[in-house]
Amino acid sequence: MKIKRFYLFCIVFTCFGIVLTSCSKKDDGSDILGSSSVTTINAKVENGSSYSFDNVKAVMYFDNSGEFVVGESKYSNGEFNIELPETVDKAYLYQIVESEFAGLTISDKTALGNGITIEAYESGSYEGDFYYGSVSQNGLITSVGGYIYVDRDVNITGSTTETDYDSYNFPIPMTISANVTLKRGWNIVYMTKSVSLKLDGSGNATSGSGTISYTSKEQGGLKWYKDDSDNGGGDDNGSGSSSVTSIDAKVVNGNSYSFDNVKAVMYSYSDDYVAGSSKYSSGGFNVALPETIDQTYLLPITDADSEDLSSNWITVSDKTAMGNGISLEGYESGSYQGDFYYGAVSQNTNATTMSVSVTMTEGMYLYVDKDVNMTGSYTETDYIDDISVPINYSASASLKKGWNIVYYTESISIKFNTNGDVTSGSGTASYTSKDPGGLKWYYQDDFNNLMNVSSALRSSRPESVSKLSGDIEKRLSEFKFFQKSK
């Protein structure tokens, strides 16, 4: 799924490459911007004839793990044409004030909306996204146009500030402004991002600033592109693709650690296997992955060691497929020190409504000996303070022969009463080969520290909040895709 962090446009600029894992597009026809007369997405893709996709889907994501196919089209001669529905059920929408427009002036705070991702598929397998944007001479994406649906007329204006980070975790103050007029129905909104940095003699940022602007006024010079950027962790390509050949990692707070080297270790029934290694230098590492793995070190996918994956709720397209994952381990003077994680953690606490939610994602590298898909869903019940909490599990992973990245995300929300007792809760857990965006590399201590719950609720219900965070952290840290324990 791409887990959408409730972004209307599903647009993610990752500074420096400014990389877009986007969903934004524009009708090449004469539809009026900001008008419900927008009804189709007509696209002629740059170098489109070099791709052999079967079809294209416009997908709307909601509630962390849900998705709704708004429309789809055949992909032919580098083009596609998607008809958009006149209305979208409110079940797939959320409040605009919860989107990336938070902090700006929204004329109607009850307005609901959602954006779409334009996705390529071949033989039923997700192959990446398309975007409508402008690209600078050095290959950076500078502007994108995005389709969103709103359930009523609404204007978004004003300005605010936030802090962004480059790929080396250097903070960059950003000024965000908007002058957007949305009409009930489908609209096109343009986002432009600009960042300036000053570098020292070693190429490290010393200062910087940037701007992000949203407008419903058409920006010239935009074209349709297939997003062939890498999907996180510095790999040559993204999840579900055998072109993943290396792990290029810049670790958050990495300079505070003094490891000698990093090993990519595969654990199996027979023996441990070091799939690759790298020196640890300047807070990062680059591990080259072997093109093939001997069958000796692989496990049947249907025998996955994870309790979740070994359940019969997941359908494996080829039960003869073999695979295994790796641990990224730090060593100093030949001694194992701990693991590195490629992940993200977000928390939302509200002391007024007495609610808390925690979402954790980890991207895991694994090798499979043949193409295989994993799909399915089921629900199980967890308990917090003796209150039942249903957890909805889902899997939608398309793996290609070779190295892949699979993302596991778990999200749980709970509510309290005025006495501080848990009254209700719910959660989702998903496995996908689609990059959710926003993941960074952490050493295990820093990754665990991300689970610190804000003080807003700690004083009222510390044991419940701690258990909520701890349960998710424990499940996530123990999850090793296809991998036997150390």
- What's the confidence (pLDDT) of residue 378? 85
pLDDT for the residue 202: 56
| HSE, side-chain direction, 13 A CA sphere, residue 132 | 27
Q: What is the DSSP letter of 302?
A: G
Which of the two residues, 174 and 351, has the higher pLDDT score?
174
How far is Cα 61 from Cα 436, in angstroms, rounded to an integer?
11
Instruction: Provide, rounded to the nearest whole percent, the portion of the chain with pLDDT above 70.
Output: 73
**Cβ atoms of residues 135 and 27 within 8 Å:** no
pLDDT band (50, 70, 90) for residue 315: confident
pLDDT tens digits, residue range 378-391?
888 877 767 888 88
Q: How big is the CA angle at 254 (ends 248 and 260), to the nearest 5 degrees?
A: 80
Highest mean pLDDT out of 7-21, 175-189, 415-429, 438-452: 175-189
What's the pLDDT band for 453 if we cut at 50, 70, 90?
very low
pLDDT tens digits along 278-308: 999 888 999 989 988 988 888 888 755 444 4
Tell me how many helices (H) and strands (E) the chain has: 4, 32
Grouping H, G, I as helix, E, B as strand and the rest as coil, residue 444 is helix
Check: CB of residue 280 under 8 Å from CB of residue 333. Answer: no
The DSSP string of 166-218 is -TT--EEEEEEEEEEEE-SEEEEEEEEEEEEEEE-TTS-EEEEEEEEEEESSP
Which two structure tokens, joined as six digits, stand for 119?
């996705």
Higher local confidence (pLDDT), 224 or 311 = 224
Q: Cα separation of 225 and 351, whole Å?
A: 44
**Per-residue model confidence (pLDDT) at position 184:** 94
pLDDT given for residue 3 in this prediction: 30
Confidence of residue 138 (pLDDT cuts 50, 70, 90): very low
Count of other CB atoms within 10 angstroms of residue 397:
25
Max mean pLDDT among 79-88, 186-195, 236-245 falls in 79-88
Per-residue pLDDT tens digits for 330-373: 999 989 999 999 988 877 766 667 777 778 889 999 999 999 88
Lowest mean pLDDT among 78-87, 95-104, 456-465: 456-465
> What percentage of the chain reaches a pLDDT higher than 90?
30
Contact between 103 and 10 under an 8 Å Cβ cutoff? The reply is: no
Residues in the chain, how many?
486
Predicted pLDDT of residue 86: 93
pTM listed for this prediction? 0.51
Please provide the distance, in angstroms rounded to a whole number, between the alpha carbons at the two ends of the chain: 30
Query: Dihedral through CA 131, CA 136, CA 137, CA 139, nearest 10?
Result: -50
Give domain limits for the chain. Answer: 13-226, 246-478
- Short-list 59, 66, 77, 199, CA closest to 117: 59
Split at pLDDT 50, 70, 90, the class of 478 is very low
Least confident range of 3-7, 99-103, 413-417, 437-441: 3-7
Whether 35 has a pLDDT exceeding 80, the answer reads no
Q: Which helix (H) or strand (E) holds 331?
A: strand 327-332
Amino acid in the structure at residue 101: F
pLDDT tens column, 262-278: 999 998 776 788 999 99
* The pLDDT value given to residue 33: 37
The per-residue pLDDT of the chain, averaged, comes to 77
Please say if the pLDDT value at position 178 is more than 90: yes
Asked if residue 193 has pLDDT above 50, the reply is yes
**259 or 435, greater pLDDT:** 259
Q: Please tell me the predicted confidence (pLDDT) of residue 398.
A: 87
When pLDDT is cut at 50, 70 and 90, the band that residue 393 belongs to is confident
pLDDT of 66 above 50: yes
Q: In the structure, what pLDDT confidence band is assigned to residue 141 with cuts at 50, 70 and 90? A: low
Better-predicted residue by pLDDT, 32 or 41: 41
Average pLDDT over residues 35-43: 80
The predicted-structure confidence for 246-265, as pLDDT tens digits, reads as follows 898 999 888 899 999 999 99
